[in-house]
Structure 1
Amino acid sequence: MSTDVRKIQIYDTTLRDGAQSAGIHFSAEDKKRIARRLASFGMDWIEGGWPGASPTDDHFFELMRGREWTRSKLVAFGSTARPGHAASEDAGLARLIASGADAACIFGKSWDLHVTRGLGIELEDNLELVRESVRWLKQHMAVVMFDAEHFFDGFRANEVYAMQVLDAAAEAGADALILCDTNGGSLPEQVASCVRQVVVRYPQLSIGIHAHNDSEMAVANTIAAVSAGASHVQGTVNGIGERCGNANLISVIPALILKMGLACGIDADGLKRLRRLSVFVNEMANQLPWQHQPYVGQNAFAHKGGIHVSAIRKESRLYEHIDPASVGNVQRVLVSNQAGRSNILAKLKQLELDADIVVDNEAMARVVQSIKEMEAIGYAFEGADASFQLLLRRATGHFKRHFELVRFRVYDEKRGHNDAPESEATVQVRVDGRLQHTAALGIGPVNAMDRALRAALVGAYPGLEQMRLTDFKVRVLSTRDATEAAVRVLIESSDGVRKWNTVGVSTDVLEATYRALNDAIEYKLVLEDQVAREHEAQRLPEVHV
């Protein structure tokens, strides 16, 4: 293992570069939740987006003004001033300064072809744009980083000019120079050769790497850059990003720590949260996890019988390059009847359970059996802690159903090609033996069902008045079955103080929704029961004179 004492700064651009991935859309609230998780994980820099580029990014930076992060820093992304505009009068730079971020990262052209053909300006004019933009930002912000766009292509085409662009940024006071493989076409040795020269030229500055994955080389190029002296790494969780994506931090971080012995500000306990971070971002992006993803995939340490299984039972290192637990994963022996138990035990450690819930061996067996049966039909509890806790309560005999569904019916009527549909839900439930029958209109069938169900229950449980559905995601579990496929519905709910997540699965999307919604309501009522018990325990006994 390396004796290199460098501290490698990890710069996460999931919320900006990752959000440019086809098929992914993060709301401002999504970005806030992801940013909070990234900060908890220990990322040094979290790039939030481009102020002024979209209302979503503007709203996100407003939401982040009250952040309380212990070590992570928020970065606002932008570009150099527009040609023909003074940096002091450029609206884009002004938005970076006003964003409330801790640092700015701007990109500028370092490939002469982009300067003359893309921007349509003289090479010297581009150098002045870089110089003045960085200088102006440094007068207003403590940290300014410069992304040298298309640096490796530019270096191969015109080495002298590419270096002049870096010179301009460095002279103006840039704190970090990031070399970008923007088209993703470079190879590791090409990257390493360039980085070595840049590191020698600017020994006082942090030199970074920003690699795209168009040649399946982003992680390799990132590691090559660090080996050549780079101390700043940019990438995204799960490698999401435009076209073929960015360097995958989920692979880069353990490689730096476990294989190169480099410090990244993430300790051993933090690294154990790597898989959970990967799963969380997948859920927020509403995309299926890659089961064979290195380090964190469900099959990354899966063994299916034969020689491999025999070997790992003697010594896991014979067929595993690291200890799966070091990145929060588990070894899976697919032919073993114990598969799944370790996952459940790990999950139990993550949850804050009531003291009255005791998971003995018999209860664990019931939990394992329930998990296996439910996962077989498509359930997944990684992003649904509330549903998991309810499952645990049922298996241990600590679950009390607060209501019984008698029936529900949802009408979704559309008249005419261009007219909006109308949704209405009718619900019958039984609470304490009394039948409640309500109906509600909604913006879509899910909203109608949510309103009708809560309306039927709020008389008996007034606390449901504060409960709201804050996120709703549907995922088709098998494309082979087309419209007959089962779907998984993930719901996030909130009462204004807490948030919780539940899951439902069915071939009927409304049934899957009901199951997730039922768990959401039951979990809210469990929380209220806990609060009531705590208040009762704190009441002083009455004194009779």
Structure 2
Amino acid sequence: MRVQPSVVLYDTTLRDGSQRAGISFTVADKVRIARRLDEFGMHYVEGGWPGSNPKDAEFFRLMQDEPLRRARLVAFSSTRRPGVRCEDDIILRQLLDAGTQATCIVGKSWDFHVTGALGTTLEENLAMIGETVAFLRARGREVIYDAEHFFDGFKANPEYALATLRAAADAGADWVVLCDTNGGTLPHEVEDIVAMVREALPGVRLGIHTHDDSGVAVANTLAAVRAGCTMVQGTVNGYGERCGNANLCAVIPNLQLKLGYACVEPEALKGLTALAGFVSEAANLPPWDAQPYVGRNAFTHKAGIHVSALLKSTAMYEHVPPESVGNERRVLVSELSGRSNLQYAFGGDSLDPEQSKALLDRIKALEHEGYQFEGAEASLELLLRDEGQPRPFELESFRVIIERRGGEVPRAEASIKVRVGDRTVHTAAEGNGPVNALDVALRKALSEIYPSLSRVRLTDYKVRVLEGSEGTGARVRVLVESTDGSRRWGTVGVSTNVIEASWQALADSLEWHLLREARDTARGATATAGDASRAAAG
């Protein structure tokens, strides 16, 4: 693959990305994200519109005290208003007060928008663009000019659309960015139009800004780069207005790994998956598991025939190594699995064919009953354990009582009897619900014997009704996610009784932790004994 020139990355997660429905970054969120984008290697980080709201104004004040280390922070605004001098326009004064070295100015490129939205003349719009760029350049600011609705404008009136670009370039704009604001342009159109712009404006540095309303924002960005754009604007996870912006989590690896353009250092690219997760967490949005490159499922394999091929060569079902973008390979075991899935995921090559078949038949039967092991790898691993291996605890009985008096909040009490070796422990506990009470009682019964359980806590609890037509008598599946501070694992339970299903998932969670801890301790003892033996021999 021929190495191409470098491409400049312009991140607008904090401005365009924040316009997605459901996102409302706090000032602290914006500061944290800006610093993380800087650490990753973005060249420009657009922080927001200083004059649009107090939050963005405060953000820029904070960033003046502790500037980004490598990236250029960008303040965004529009051209001056019709009939108002730049010196008298409050939005431009607020833009300068933001104190950023780089500014981004948006202006109209579509004649329909000039007359219909701005309500001014085509000539005044050209003056607004040129005078605003010159005003900012004269005050030492780098100016990135975003040509709003450029592709729609070019298709409607190419001469005028190009005239708006010339107005910005002639006034000294450092970058001229072509925006597919409505997201309705297709890749072949983008490539053709960018090529014409490049020919009409030789020497002008071009950028691309696309939206995903037609599902092709990433493809349009790649097409624009191939045609001559050297700046790409986008957002982490594709967040943005309506259907979102070009997703930098796909744009960057496509440019770097597939097309040979230098965007970030290879080691930095390995932080892409972590960056995607960080931003989704800050946005308080669930991660997109099927997201290309950085999604949890991007390198997850389920079908037995696929896994069988992976054992021969991962390239058969992976277009790039997952570690190149900081992701990891996962192999699931389900009713679609074959022996290869067991071999890859759990060292099932130690099982003979009959054992493997029996285990797979059992998994398929359980999934037919409603179990699902894709998010419950710990429960699956417990199925694979040696049946002769002693269990850390066994349930003898439990009882849960829910009491509500008058207008009081209902309280739950659980009593439980478990056997640990030759010892039987009987205890009770209260909780704010039946499942919580059962969880507290179980931990109380086991904590003296297994102190490490104090580190284990539930991080997620989900209930799904499997046969809605059965009403309140339907079977339910309970999925529990747990952590001990360093590892996360999932467990599952299924029953027509939600308490019983919850018990199965809770018991599996604690049992898996105890068995894994015992295994780690045994391995550590073996390693220590081996070191001592080698030292003695030496």
Task: Give the TM interval when normalised to the shorter protein.
Answer: 0.5 to 0.7
For 1:501 and 1:175, how far apart are their aligned partners in 2?
Answer: 47
Residue 62 of structure 1, CA deviation: 1.3
Q: Equivalent residues in 2 for 1:1-400 (5 A)? A: 1-4=1-4, 6-264=5-263, 266-335=264-333, 336=341, 376=376
Range moving further from structure 2, 138-147 or 194-203: 194-203
Task: Give unmatched runs, 5+ long, in structure 1.
Answer: 342-371, 379-413, 415-444, 446-473, 491-499, 509-545
- Tell me, yes or no, if the aligned pair for 1:208 and 1:234 is still in contact at 8 Å: yes
On the 8 A contact 1:103/1:141 being kept in 2, the answer is: no
Bigger Rg, structure 1 or 2 = 2
1:62 alignment partner, SS class: helix
What is the rounded CA distance, in whole Å, between the counterparts of 1:167 and 1:108 in structure 2? 12
Identity of aligned residues (%): 51
Q: Give, in angstroms, the shift of residue 339 of structure 1.
A: 7.7
Match of 2:143, as an amino acid? V
- CA-CA distance at 1:503 after TM superposition: 10
- Contact 1:73-1:103 at 8 Å conserved across structures: yes
Give the letter for the 1:321 counterpart.
H
SS of the counterpart of 2:262? coil
Deviations 1:15-69 (A, max 9, x none): 0000000011100000111111100000000000000211111111111112343
| Amino acid corresponding to residue 279 of structure 1 in structure 2 | G
Instruction: Say if 1:476 and 1:485, in contact at 8 Å, map to a contact too.
Output: no
* Letter of the 2:122 counterpart: L
Residue 455 (structure 2) aligns with: none
In the TM superposition, residue 224 of structure 1 has moved relative to its aligned partner by 0.3
Shift, 1:204, TM fit: 2.3
- Cα 1:150–1:309 change in 2 (3 A) is same
Structure 1 pair 118–258 and aligned structure 2 pair: CA distance change class (3 A): same
CA positional deviation for 1:332: 1.3
- Please give the secondary structure, in 1, of the residue aligned with 2:261: coil
Q: CA deviation at 1:212?
A: 0.2
Shift of 1:107: 0.4
Instruction: Normalising by structure 2, report the TM-score.
Output: 0.65
Q: SS of the counterpart of 2:189?
A: helix
Distance 1:74 1:168 in 2: 25
CA distance in 1 between partners of 2:253 and 2:52 (Å): 33
2:112 partner letter: L
Rate the CA distance shift 1:52–1:142 in 2: closer, same or farther, 3 A: closer
Please state how far the C-alpha of 1:3 moved relative to its aligned partner: 3.5
Residues 150, 182 of structure 1: 8 Å contact kept: yes
Distance in 2, matches of 1:297 and 1:479, equals: 23
Change beyond 3 A, Cα 1:479–1:290: farther
Using the TM superposition, give the Cα deviation of residue 280 of structure 1 relative to its aligned residue in structure 2, in angstroms: 0.7
Q: Which residue identity lines up with residue 307 of structure 2 in the other structure?
A: V
Q: Structure 2 CA distance, aligned partners of 1:184 and 1:60?
A: 29
TM-score by length of 1: 0.64
Contact preservation (8 Å) 2:6, 2:262: yes
**RMSD between aligned alpha carbons?**
3.7
Counterpart residue type for residue 326 of structure 2: G
* Secondary structure class of the residue paired with 1:154: helix
Aligned partner of 2:415 in structure 1 is none
- How big is the shift at 1:7? 1.6
Q: How far off its partner does 1:376 sit?
A: 3.7
Distance 1:479 1:47, change over 3 A: farther
SS of residue matched to 2:36:
helix
Structure 2's unaligned 5+ residue stretches are 334-340, 347-371, 379-406, 408-431, 433-458, 469-475, 492-497, 500-538
